[in-house]
Structure 1
Amino acid sequence: MKHTLAIRDLTLKHRQRTLVDRADLTLKAGEVHALVGASGSGKSLTCLGILDLLPPGVHSSGASLLLDGQRVEAASLRGREVALVLQNPRSAFNPVRSLRQHALETLQARSIQGAEAERLIHATLLEVGLFDGQRVLDSFAFQLSGGMLQRMMIALALLADSRFLLADEPTSDLDVVAQARFLDLLERLVAQRHLGVLLITHDMGVVARCADQVTVMAHGRIVEQADVHTLFHAPQSQEARTLLAAHHSLTMENCPA
């Protein structure tokens, strides 16, 4: 059970309505686990539920969060063992604080300050492909592109020395070039840093490229879990078959010339 993050029996409700019903997920270091499903299937809520960052009115009941097999509280993991990358990265930054202030605050939690902090920040920005580090650090979130802010969010996760990354539709607001660069970065960090990633997406092309394991959700329930090769070649659930049919249609796969 080394280097795993698991959620067991996650149930989320709003008043009497069940939004996510007894979901089980296990992330492993060095792997990308894709969570897929149609809009409204419960993917993003499941992601937020893992870290107990739920919208007002939504509550969790009975879930267990396990880090390397040991039960833990979500609050002890947020921004430490587990980092979150949001679909709209601009909303994750304090608009009146520079990105340098965000980075320094992250390192202060690890008791790293002064010259060592500056050295580590610049090295990490280079690692995530932010080569104009001085300008980036002096900027505020509104002054940078969405792709740059996505990379900065990953840089903050690396500065926090997080082992797991939860990425909620991280490429949906990026253009095609920025998407490709982001996925290149993600794959490299999984391999080099041995990150464990939960990648929430409806893009089966992204799944085919990046994922090792896939979980399929429909109407708040997990309906299928399989390795990526099995899912693409022998899907068992109707939801998976529908997603794959849409993917093949959009990419013109299996179509006559």
Structure 2
Amino acid sequence: MSGQLQLRDLHIEHRGDPLVNGIDLTLNAGHICALVGASGSGKSLTCLGMLDLLPDNLQRLSGELLLDGKTVTAQQLRGREIALVLQNPRSAFNPVRTLRQHAAETLAVRGIKGAQARMRMNEAVSDVGLVDIERVLDSCAFQLSGGMLQRMMIALALMAESRFLLADEPTSDLDVVAQARFLDLLERLTAQRGLGVLLVTHDMGVVARSCDHVAVMESGLIVEKADVRTLFDSPQSTAARALLHAHRTLTMEHASQ
């Protein structure tokens, strides 16, 4: 895959109060960009605003999306060029439908049905590292673990042939082993398939391990952008320094235990 996705001048407010102010982001195929910040900084709102999925009480005042330099709408991209992986993956699935039904619907949008659809389902589910494929596909979301559902969301993105993935705190509810497996998968798909990823997180350990570039948010603003090595070596913003200090403190505490 190849391409570039740009977000320009995203503004979101709640009853006249600004929540996100003039956000600009660029995602490139084959790279993972981290969007980091403390809780309430506007990271998740930025993801939802990009895809025009804000709750009714919030208003998107502006924000332009460009795919390979051409202006497009969120509706044109959502579920096609862009896929979203949520912190709570269960909320993305209808609880009374099987994952096979979800997959069939995703493929039907692309005109893929019957034997070809079954083959594509099996390939995608296998590609994200899920075993016992038939059991997984015939399960409902409540019958699978959070880590398995995270992988299934990525499998659906592969079925949709999405070029970009927005992952909103995807590892925060996973245990250490499941988190490592998820990041392994994300890194592999980025390298092998050229997926472009926006990884929303507050975990600087995840950033150091998996990301190429990072944008730091504070109070609805992006206050710093850098490649990961530069940010860790020489953070310029107060927000970045605070995140790195917290990360190093936790790392030292774990090392001493």
Q: How does 1:1-257 map to 2 (within 5 A)?
A: 3-252=3-252
**Counterpart residue identity of residue 219, structure 1:** S
How many equivalent residue pairs?
255
Letter in 2 for 1:19: L
Tell me which amino acid in the other structure corresponds to 1:246.
Answer: A
The residue identity in structure 2 corresponding to 1:135 is: R
Secondary structure class of the residue paired with 1:63: strand
Structure 2 CA distance, aligned partners of 1:229 and 1:149? Answer: 32
Q: Secondary structure at the match of 2:5?
A: strand
How far apart in 2 are the matches of 1:235 and 1:55? 34
Task: Give secondary structure in 1 for the equivalent of 2:18.
Answer: strand
Instruction: For residue 174 of structure 1, give the secondary structure of its aligned residue in structure 2.
Output: coil
Which amino acid in the other structure matches residue 91 of structure 2? S
2-side partners of 1:132 and 1:169: how far apart?
27
Q: Distance in 1 between matches of 2:195 and 2:62?
A: 27
| Kept after mapping to 1: 8 A contact 2:12/2:62 | no
What's the offset of the Cα at 1:226? 0.4
Q: Which residue identity lines up with residue 242 of structure 2 in the other structure?
A: T
Q: Per-residue deviation at 1:198?
A: 0.2
Quick one: distance in 2 between partners of 1:187 and 1:63? 29
Q: Which amino acid aligns with 1:36?
A: V
Q: Which amino acid aligns with 1:28?
A: N
Q: Once the 2 structures are TM-superposed, how far is the Cα of residue 63 of structure 1 from its aligned partner?
A: 1.2
Distance (Å, rounded) in 1 between the aligned partners of 2:17 and 2:243: 26
The alignment-based identity, stated in percent, is: 69
Secondary structure at 1:60 match in 2: strand
TM-score of the aligned structures, taking structure 1 as reference length: 0.97
Amino acid at match of 2:154: I
- Superposition deviation, residue 212 in structure 1: 0.5
SS at match of 1:167: strand
| Counterpart code for 1:89 | P
Q: Secondary structure at the match of 2:62?
A: coil
SS at match of 2:209: helix
Question: TM-score, structure 2 length as denominator?
Answer: 0.97
**How many Å separate the matches in 2 of 1:136 and 1:211?**
30
2:106–2:160: 8 Å Cα contact kept in structure 1?
Answer: yes
Q: Match of 1:76, as an amino acid?
A: Q
Q: Structure 1: which 4+ aligned runs deviate by more than 3 Å?
A: none
1:85-132 C-alpha deviation (Å, 9 max, x unpaired): 000000000111100000000000110111011011101111001111
Deviation at 1:62, TM superposition (A): 2.2
Once residues 94 and 202 of structure 2 are traced to their aligned partners in structure 1, the CA distance between those partners, rounded to angstroms, is 28
How far is 1:74 from its partner? Answer: 0.3
Amino acid at match of 1:81: E
SS of residue in 2 equivalent to 1:162: coil
Q: Distance in 2 between matches of 1:87 and 1:30?
A: 22
C-alpha distance in structure 1 between counterparts of 2:178 and 2:55, whole Å: 29
Amino acid in structure 2 at the alignment position of 1:26 = T
Q: Distance in 2 between matches of 1:117 and 1:63?
A: 36
Q: Which moved more, 1:52-61 or 1:222-231?
A: 52-61
DSSP-derived class of the 2:189 partner:
helix
